[in-house]
Structures are given as structure tokens and as C-alpha cells.
């Protein structure tokens, strides 16, 4: 047995043991998925501000401010807009997390789960988080990342569309079941 | 017991204690009818006891230096590991089985992960071990631990609560597997210096995990696993249009977004 394999195997096993504790701790401390109505109360609602955010981050807008009000004003506007953009980013993330929660409930309550849909959601959420942190870092470093933020917002929306399809299918099943129950009662 | 007395006292004590605790746990599970809830886990405990009995008979008859006894000893280990794998699968089913959709997905993914880890362990360790069974054991233990960790991750991701009892059983199985891997790796690497300590550590870890299982199964009442509280059809029928309306609204906002001008720069 090579020393390399030995070290990798030992580290891997210790990591696995740590993962066991971490994941069990998370699963046993959390409440069971909430099946109540209120989960659906706060639908994604921050996309309506996308146009203002786009405007606020427009380079031409800032150049105009610098030209008319000077560099000091431009810097102040840039700083304020960056703060607003960060808040907007956080709001987009909340929207996304909310949609994920709804999707989890749908998956848990569904007798059939599509592997590709679940994988897609997992992939989307990973990509979302990566982009989210990359954009936030970029904003903190002073880079205005308009295209990336737009991509994030679009990702949230496309995910919600997927949810709609799933929910519609569940709705059809529920309607069919209700009809069957009604027939059996008659 | 002339042959067994050659073993260090500490090893004998731990071996005896492990056997006693296994008997106690199995006996208690049978007495309070918990075997009905965890049949494969009981099979695993029985296999452990059987392995101990076979080991005692073998070593008494052939001694510790016998190649035949050594090989048979490792062969019985394969059955015990296989029984533990089944017990782990049982724990997986007890936690996720109620959620049919998620379970179908998890079973596929966890099986694939387990097989992948087993194959990797066998491939990378193919030339390194004195006994092929040790390689197989490491591979199987790694696949068991991976499946248990994957199970917990699934439960965490879907916000499925794990009952303390099943969680402890799963954790015990997973930790035992991790420990066995470490033990086998270190034994293989430092076999000459490690000899007796290997037996001691192995028995010690098993005793600790048995104590966790006994504590988890301390309640005499047979544990029932409630199914998920699925919403009735009427709730679904009223809930779905509500959600769909919200999503339609979201789509409309998205459509508004599409109609905005593209960035200037």
C-alpha cells in the first residue's frame, strides 16, 4: 500500500465520519418539512425591481452623474447603489430559497419524483449559490456585475417556471383523486 | 481454554464484553418485540454472535497461527459485513421509505454511490493487501459508510426528520464502518507493530457502538414509524390553484423583465 493511498484513504474516512455527524445533526435537529399553507405565502416578489436595479447599475448612468456632478457625487452614488444592489441580491436569494422549500415539499409529498428534475434543481441551486457569492464578492471589490445579476434573477424565474409545471401535474392528480373519491362515495 | 488464554487479558475482556453486550441487545430486542421493526439489524447481531462462536471453535482447534483458521476467520467477516450492509439498507428504508418518490430516487443514487466507492476501493487497494478479504472489507465498509452519510444528507436536504432511534442505529453502523476502515488501513500499514492493539481497538470500538445502540433501543415499547402526514385530497385541490396563481404572477413579472431593454454596455 502506497503512502499516498494510505493518506488519502485515512483523510477520506475521517471526512466521511465527520459528514455522518454533521448531516445527522442537521437532519435530527430540523423540524419535519412543513406541509402547511403558509409556506406558499411568500412567493418570489423581488423580480419586479429588476428594471430599477438594472438602471442603477448602468455604467452610462454613473458616467452621466460624474460628468454633471463631479467624481465625488459619482463615487457616493456608486457606493449607495452598490449597497442597494447587495440588498437586492439578498432578496433574490430569499426568493430562490423560498422556491426551493416549496419544491422540497412537492417532492416529499409526491409518490413519484423525477431524478432529472431533482438533479436539475440541485444543479441550479449549486450554480445559483456559486454565482451569488461570486457576484457579492465582485460587488464588495467594486466591480459592477450587471450581466451576472441579471442571470441570477433569470435563474430564479426559470426555476419558478419548473415548479409551476410540477405543481400543475400534482394538481391534475389531486383533481383526479378527488373525482375518484366522489365516484366511490356515490 | 488454553489457546484463547494466549491473548492479552484486555483483549479477552473486551471480546467477552462485546459478546455479552451483543447478546444483551439481541435478547432485549427479541423480548420487547423490536425484531419486528429491525429484522435485518437483528440478523446482523446474530451473525456477529455466530462469528464469535465460529472464531472460538476455530482458534481452539487450530490455534492462532493456522492459515486455515485465519482464512476462515476472514471469510466469516465477509458474511458479517454483508449483514451490516443489509442492516444499513434497512435503516435507509426506515428513514426514507415512507416518502415513496424520494425513496425511489435515493435508493438509486445511494446504490450507485455505494457500488462506485466499493469499486474504487477494490481497484486502488488491489495490490496492497496481504489478504484479499481485507481489501473487500475496506471496500464494503466504505460503501456502507457512504450510503449512511448519503442517507443523512438526503434527509437533511429534504428536511425529513430522522427519529433519534433510527439515527443512532445508522450513526452506529456508519461509524463502525469508518472505524473498521481506519483499523484495517493502519493494520495493513503498521501490521508488525500494531498486532494486539488492532484487536483491542476493534473490540473497543464495537463495545462503544453497542452501548450507543443499547441506549438508543432502551425503550421497551416497540417503535412504530408514523407515515408522512400527507395532506388530504381537498387540501391539495385548494392548495395547488393558490400556488399556481402565485407562479403565474411570477411568470408575468418575468415576461415584463423580458420586455425591458437590454443593457447598454
Domain residues of chain A, as ranges? 38-185
CA distance B91 to B145: 12
Contacts of A145 (CB under 8 A, 6+ apart): A135, A138, A139
CA distance A52 to B170: 51
Cell 493487501 belongs to residue: B129
Which residues on chain B are in Cβ contact (under 8 Å) with A14?
178, 182
* CB-CB contact of A21 with B178 (8 Å): no
The set of cell numbers assigned to B38 is 429491525
**So what's the ipTM on this one?**
0.72
Contacts of A126 (CB under 8 A, 6+ apart): none
Contacts of A162 (CB under 8 A, 6+ apart): A103, A117, A120, A121
Q: Check B158 against A107: CB less than 8 A apart.
A: yes
* CA dihedral for A60, A64, A67, A69, sign (positive or negative): negative
* CB-CB contact of B84 with B206 (8 Å): no
The set of cell numbers assigned to A129 is 449559490
Mean pLDDT confidence for A23-44: 57
B107 touches chain A (CB under 8 A): no
Higher pLDDT, B146 or A90: B146
pLDDT at A45 over 80: no
H/E element holding A93?
Answer: helix A59-109
Cell 483483549 belongs to residue: B11
* CB-CB contact of B174 with B141 (8 Å): no
DSSP-derived secondary structure for A51-87: HHHHHHT-HHHHHHHHHHHHHHHHHHHHHHHHHHHHH
Q: Where are the domains of chain B?
A: 4-216
Compute φ and ψ for B180, nearest 5 degrees. Answer: -60, -40
Long-range Cβ pairs for the range B112-121 (8 Å, 24+): B113/B143, B113/B146, B113/B147, B113/B150, B114/B143, B114/B144, B114/B146, B114/B147, B115/B143, B117/B142, B117/B143, B117/B146, B118/B142, B118/B143
A35 touches chain B (CB under 8 A): yes
pLDDT at A176 over 70: no
Classify residue B81 as exposed, middle or buried by CB count within 10 Å of its CB (0-12, 13-18, 19+): buried
B224 touches chain A (CB under 8 A): no
Higher pLDDT, A88 or B19: B19
Residue B147 CA, chain-centre distance (Å), reads 7
pLDDT at B238: 46
* pTM score, whole prediction: 0.72
One pLDDT digit (tens) per residue for chain B, 265 residues:
556 677 778 778 888 899 999 999 999 899 888 888 899 999 999 999 999 888 888 888 887 777 787 778 777 888 888 899 999 999 999 888 888 778 888 888 888 888 888 787 777 766 655 556 667 778 888 889 999 999 999 898 888 888 888 889 999 999 999 988 888 777 766 665 666 677 777 788 889 999 999 998 887 655 555 566 554 444 434 444 454 455 445 444 434 433 433 343 3
* CA dihedral for B126, B131, B137, B140, sign (positive or negative): positive
Out of A110, A150, A160, name the one closest to residue B101 (CB): A110
A4 touches chain B (CB under 8 A): no
A50 touches chain B (CB under 8 A): yes
Out of A48, A167, A170, name the one closest to residue B253 (CB): A48
pLDDT at B79: 87
Burial A85-100, CB ≥16 within 10 A → b, else e: beebbebbbebbebbb
Q: Check A44 against B265: CB less than 8 A apart.
A: no
* CB-CB contact of B128 with B61 (8 Å): no
Closest among B160, B250, B100 to A35, alpha carbons compared: B160
How far is the alpha carbon of B62 from chain A, nearest alpha carbon, in Å? 30
Higher pLDDT, B218 or A34: B218
A124 touches chain B (CB under 8 A): no
Mean pLDDT confidence for A107-125: 70
End-to-end CA distance of chain A: 72
CA distance A39 to B34: 37
* CB-CB contact of B161 with A30 (8 Å): yes
* CB-CB contact of A95 with A156 (8 Å): yes
Which residues on chain A are in Cβ contact (under 8 Å) with B157?
104
Contacts of B139 (CB under 8 A, 6+ apart): B117, B118, B119, B120, B121, B122, B125
pLDDT at B96: 87
Q: Check B155 against A178: CB less than 8 A apart.
A: no
B99 touches chain A (CB under 8 A): yes
Amino acid at each position: 500500500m502506497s503512502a499516498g493511498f494510505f493518506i488519502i484513504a485515512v483523510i477520506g474516512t475521517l471526512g466521511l465520519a465527520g459528514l455522518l455527524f454533521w448531516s445527522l445533526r442537521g437532519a435530527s435537529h430540523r423540524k419535519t418539512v412543513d406541509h402547511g399553507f403558509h409556506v406558499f405565502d411568500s412567493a418570489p416578489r423581488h423580480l419586479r425591481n429588476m428594471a430599477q436595479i438594472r438602471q442603477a447599475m448602468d455604467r452610462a448612468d454613473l458616467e452621466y452623474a460624474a460628468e454633471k456632478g463631479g467624481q465625488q457625487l459619482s463615487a457616493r452614488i456608486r457606493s449607495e447603489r452598490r449597497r442597494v444592489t447587495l440588498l437586492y441580491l439578498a432578496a433574490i436569494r430569499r426568493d430562490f430559497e423560498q422556491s426551493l422549500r416549496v419544491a422540497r415539499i412537492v417532492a416529499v409529498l409526491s409518490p413519484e419524483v423525477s431524478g432529472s428534475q431533482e438533479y436539475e434543481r440541485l444543479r441550479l441551486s449549486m450554480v445559483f449559490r456559486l454565482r451569488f457569492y461570486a457576484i457579492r464578492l465582485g460587488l464588495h471589490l467594486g466591480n459592477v456585475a450587471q450581466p451576472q445579476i441579471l442571470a441570477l434573477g433569470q435563474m430564479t424565474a426559470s426555476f419558478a417556471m419548473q415548479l409551476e409545471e410540477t405543481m400543475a401535474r400534482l394538481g391534475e392528480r389531486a383533481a383526479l383523486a378527488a373525482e375518484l373519491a366522489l365516484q366511490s362515495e356515490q | 481454554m488454553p489457546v484463547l488464554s494466549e491473548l492479552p487479558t484486555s483483549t479477552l475482556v473486551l471480546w467477552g464484553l462485546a459478546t455479552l453486550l451483543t447478546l444483551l441487545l439481541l435478547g432485549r430486542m427479541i423480548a420487547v418485540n423490536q425484531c419486528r421493526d429491525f429484522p435485518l439489524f437483528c440478523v446482523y447481531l446474530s451473525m456477529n454472535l455466530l462469528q464469535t462462536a465460529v472464531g472460538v471453535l476455530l482458534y481452539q482447534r487450530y490455534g492462532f497461527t493456522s492459515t486455515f483458521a485465519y482464512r476462515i476467520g476472514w471469510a466469516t467477516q465477509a458474511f458479517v459485513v454483508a449483514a451490516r450492509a443489509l442492516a444499513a439498507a434497512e435503516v435507509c428504508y426506515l428513514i426514507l421509505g415512507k416518502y415513496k418518490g424520494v425513496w425511489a430516487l435515493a435508493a438509486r443514487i445511494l446504490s450507485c454511490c455505494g457500488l462506485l466507492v466499493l469499486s474504487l476501493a477494490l481497484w486502488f487497494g488491489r495490490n496492497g493487501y496481504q489478504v484479499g478479504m481485507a481489501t473487500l472489507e475496506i471496500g464494503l465498509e466504505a460503501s456502507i459508510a457512504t450510503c449512511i452519510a448519503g442517507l443523512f444528507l438526503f434527509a437533511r436536504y429534504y428536511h425529513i426528520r430522522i427519529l433519534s432511534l433510527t439515527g443512532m442505529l445508522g450513526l452506529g453502523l456508519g461509524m463502525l464502518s469508518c472505524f473498521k476502515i481506519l483499523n484495517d488501513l493502519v493494520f495493513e500499514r503498521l501490521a508488525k507493530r500494531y498486532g494486539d492493539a488492532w484487536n483491542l481497538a476493534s473490540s473497543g470500538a464495537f463495545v462503544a457502538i453497542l452501548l450507543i445502540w443499547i441506549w438508543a433501543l432502551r425503550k421497551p415499547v416497540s417503535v412504530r414509524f408514523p407515515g408522512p402526514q400527507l395532506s388530504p385530497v381537498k387540501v391539495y385541490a385548494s392548495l395547488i390553484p393558490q400556488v399556481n396563481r402565485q407562479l403565474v404572477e411570477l411568470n408575468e413579472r418575468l415576461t415584463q423583465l423580458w420586455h425591458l431593454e437590454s443593457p447598454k454596455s
